[in-house]
Every structure is written in structure tokens, then in C-alpha cells.
Structure 1
Amino acid sequence: MQVDLIESAVPAPESLRPWITELGRFPAIADASLPFTHVPYAETTIVLRAADRPEALVLGPRTRAAYSKSDKPAGCARLRLAPGTTRQLLGVAAADLADRVVRLADLPGVAAELANELVTLPTEEVLPFLEEVLPQRISEDPTRRMHRELLGAAVAAISATPTVHELATGLGVSERQLRNLFTSGIGISPKHFARIGRVRRILVDASNVAVPLAHVAAIHGYYDQSHMAADFKALMGVPPAKFFQGQVPAPTPCKSAQ
């Protein structure tokens, strides 16, 4: 079973950081016969696939895990969008992209105008190209910048804040404003964002067989192991013990662009 948690990544240059956080590189799958686990994630990404027919795709936030098999190995590069930038770059709210795969060229935003160039560039030239052309194409205003910065602060604080109420209070906004910011700027609720982050951290910690699951549950703030198992199963489809034994749902073909 292969899991898409490990990839090499380079941070975006400072001039791109308001909109793109990093460029990840995922190598071609070593053994296409093994099921591949697509772990839940809370970002919107632009994926540049290096296949027989290169293409630029947009993957919205994935709210639950998916298990697939690929017919042939294919590597890719992934541009991770900063929270709150989906509408600026792609022309749509992040909520419209949740659990979807869309062709970049089919979207109305400024990034779609760069799709053809992005898929033909060597990976190491993608960030320099975007640094040169993207800032000049993006329209910015104080309100949009404020919302983006507020959402960035919420994302930075959420893992250490017990409740949505406390997070909103700390940021000086109402819970309704905070939920609206997450829905439009990230595509999921703040509670689901926090759950995804916690399950991803569990996947890293629990992959060490020397660490008991009860200990993993405790260090991640769960009441007990059964509480963690229920949360894990809701997002991953199976409890952690079965997942790490390779007992996962039957794989399906990779999801096509919609």
C-alpha cells in the first residue's frame, strides 16, 4: 500500500507566497499494481501531470480518503495554493472544488491562462515562471488581502485551539464569519479542517509500529483510543489498526476530471 504523504517540496519564493505556498514533487509510482491511498487534505492544488499526454488539473480539498490503482506509473508536480486564494487564482470559491478534479484550463481564473505553459515547463522552471508572470496578472484589494491574512492566521492557530468558538474569539471575529471564511477560502469547515490535520499527523506517528495506538491517541488529544479510531475511520474508511495492516477498501480507478 502506497500513501501520498511523502513528497519532496520546495517553498515558493516570497513574491508568490501570498498565493502559492510550495511546489511539491511526487515521483512516479514504483509499483502500479499496489493500491494507492489518497489521504484527505485541506488544500486546493494545481497538479501538473507528467504522463503520455501532460495535463494541468485542479484538485479541491479531499474530505475523505480514496483508494485507487493506476494503469501506469506517472509522476506529478503539485502547486499548493495558500488559504483564501482560490477565487483570485481560479475564479471560483474553494467550496465549489471540494472533492472534485477539474481541468485548470476549464476554470475562469487567471491561472487557467497559464495552463499550456505550465504543462510544458520542466518542473524546476515552474516557480521562476510564475514568479515572473503571476503577480502582474492578479488583481488585489485591501478587503481580499485582509480576509486572506485572517484565514492564514486561523490556519496557523487551529491545531492548538480546542474549539471553533475559542479560535474565533482569539481572532476577533464571530463563529459565523470564521466558518464563512473557511468555506469560501478553503472549501471545508474549520472543524473538518482540524480533523484532517489531526488524522494526517496520526498517519505519520502511527506508521511507527513501536508506538502503541493508545499513546498516539493521547498525544493527539483524543479522550481514548476508541475516540481516535472513530475519527480515523470517518475520514479513512477503516479504523487505524486495519489500515496499518493493509486492510483497506477495494481500490477504484483514478478519478477523472469533471
Structure 2
Amino acid sequence: MVFKEILPQVKLRPYIKTLYFYESDSAADYDDIVFPSGTMEVIFNLGQGSWKTKKDGTFYTTPPIELWGQITKPLAIKSVGRNVMLGIRFYPHSAAYFFNESISEFNNEIVGAADVFGVSLKTLHEKLMETGGLDKRIALVEDYLCDRLRISEKRHDKIKFIGEIVNNLKTDYNREIIAVSVRNNISTRYLNMLFSQYTGLPPKLFCKINRFQHSLNLVNANDQKLTDVAYDAGYFDQSHFIREFKLFTGLTPNSFAAQASPINQFLAGN
């Protein structure tokens, strides 16, 4: 398996967390699980294989260009054949810079990104399929994203404001939402509405997912006892940590550590 993360050009760094490239080293099918990450993604499928995601007990093939909404529960996936992907991972709030819809509409959904972004994204996908070399493909994606930013300039101030709140919440998992509201002189109701509109998640759930992601990194490092992981990640106690970890993964921390795979780690959005 090849997996590379690519830092976007300077102009895009406030908006794009990372670009990434994935290529499977085998055509053998396999199953895996993706966990909540607090971020959204657009993924261009460029290989001969396909991906499937499970919904209501049935696996469905994902579109050629996938838009991943906010995932709030474990999501089963299946790789079929040899896959090649080029992905865009946004910050929690920054997908809103690139299209007009309320982000929360896509929660726990993988939809056709071309249906959201329009024919220009389909054209980009066709160019990526025709173009050889990762650097050239990255340049095409970056040019497209810069054009989309220019279209959304009128919304930038409001989205930037939500981004600042996102960063505040990320530095203190137990921060009371009401304190954020008072400090910014807005009602908690309006804050929740804006936050959900531009990130897809209410602030409280965002904090839970962000805390879970931190604990996931610590569990992957495998150099601390569970009690220490719980307190370092901001949980009240070990039982609280285990309960919430199982909510987002379907597994206890010990079970996860025993069977974690590379694909679910990078698709988790770390």
C-alpha cells in the first residue's frame, strides 16, 4: 500500500488540512471500518477498483467522486479490486468555503461530489484520469480549489469566525459552550446553528469526536496505560473513555489496538 500526505500550496493551507494519495498494492478485496474524524473529504477514484460503504445492512458502491459528510458513528467499508485515490481533507469548518449547501445535510452520507459542486468537478475528474504524475494531478486540484475560493468570498468572514471557535474548542475539550457564546457576544442557540451549518456538527458532538480522535492517536501510539490515555484525552475516568471509544468505533480500546489496520487509521482523518 502507498499512502502519501501532501501539504497544499500556501494559499490553500488555511482551508485544506491535507491532500493525500492512496494506491492499494493488491487487487484482493478486504473489509474495514472508518471512524468519526470531525472532518469532511472529497475523494477522486482514479483506479480500476471501487469502494463500497455499508448502509442499513447493505453495501453500496461509492460514486467516482465521493463527498464524505461528517461521520458520527463507525462506518463499514469494502475495497474491491485495485484502488487509486486522490483525496482532499478539509478542516472541520472549511468545506463550507467551497460550496453553498448546509454541511449538516451530508452527515453520515457519502454522496456524489459532482452533484454538489457541479459539472466543473466532473471535468476535473476527467482531467485527473488523463493526467500522469502525482505533481501534475495535485496542481490541477489546487487550481480548481483556488477558483472555488474566489466564488465564495462573500461568506469568508462568517466561516472564518466559526473556524476560530473550532480552534478554541479544540484546545479545551471540556470548555462550556455557553462560555464561548458569552465571549463572542452571541446566543448559544445562534452559535449552535452556525456551528452546525458550517461544520455539520453541533459543538458538543464536535468536542466529543475531537476528544475521541486524540484518544485514538494515543491508543495507536501504544505507549500508555488506558487510565493515562483517558486522563490525557480529557475523559472523567477510564470507564467514560471506554464507553465513548466504543460508541465511535464499535470496539473497546484493547480490541481496537489488537486489530487496527493502516486504512482505518488514515481514513479516520488524523
1:43 matches 2:39: yes
Checking the alignment, whether the CA contact within 8 Å between 1:218 and 1:224 is kept in structure 2 is yes
1:20 matches 2:24: no
User: TM-score w.r.t. structure 1 length?
Assistant: 0.80
**Which among 73, 79, 101 is matched to residue 110 of structure 2?**
101
Matched residue SS, 2:12: coil
Shift of 1:170: 3.5
Checking the alignment, whether the CA contact within 8 Å between 1:94 and 1:185 is kept in structure 2 is yes
User: Relative to 1, partners in 2 of residues 1:227 and 1:37: Cα closer, same or farther, differing over 3 Å?
Assistant: same
**Which among 106, 110, 124 is matched to residue 114 of structure 1?**
124
1:8 matches 2:9: no
Choose between structure 1 and 2: higher helix proportion: 2
Checking the alignment, whether the CA contact within 8 Å between 2:99 and 2:152 is kept in structure 1 is no
Count of aligned pairs between the two proteins: 243
- Give the whole-Å Cα distance in 2 for the aligned partners of 1:112 and 1:86: 18
- Give the whole-Å Cα distance in 2 for the aligned partners of 1:209 and 1:82: 26
User: TM-score w.r.t. structure 2 length?
Assistant: 0.76
- Give the whole-Å Cα distance in 2 for the aligned partners of 1:115 and 1:90: 17
User: Relative to 1, partners in 2 of residues 1:186 and 1:130: Cα closer, same or farther, differing over 3 Å?
Assistant: same
Instruction: Please give the residue correspondences for 1:1-258 in structure 2 after superposition, counting only pairs within 5 Å.
Output: 8-28=4-24, 32=28, 35-52=31-48, 55-109=64-118, 111=121, 114-121=124-131, 122-137=133-148, 138-142=150-154, 144-161=155-172, 162-246=175-259
- Give the whole-Å Cα distance in 2 for the aligned partners of 1:47 and 1:238: 26
User: Relative to 1, partners in 2 of residues 1:34 and 1:175: Cα closer, same or farther, differing over 3 Å?
Assistant: same
Matched residue SS, 1:42: coil
Superposition CA RMSD, Å: 3.0
Checking the alignment, whether the CA contact within 8 Å between 2:44 and 2:125 is kept in structure 1 is no
Checking the alignment, whether the CA contact within 8 Å between 1:86 and 1:93 is kept in structure 2 is no
Identical amino acids, percent of aligned pairs: 21
Shift of 1:27: 3.5
- Give the whole-Å Cα distance in 2 for the aligned partners of 1:30 and 1:231: 34
- Which letter does structure 2 place at the counterpart of 1:213? L
Cα deviations by residue, 1:164-185 (Å, 9 ceiling, x for unpaired): 2223334443222221122111
Which ranges of structure 2 fall in alignment gaps of 5 or more residues? 51-63, 261-270
Which ranges of structure 1 fall in alignment gaps of 5 or more residues? 248-258
Matched residue SS, 1:47: strand
User: Relative to 1, partners in 2 of residues 1:22 and 1:244: Cα closer, same or farther, differing over 3 Å?
Assistant: closer
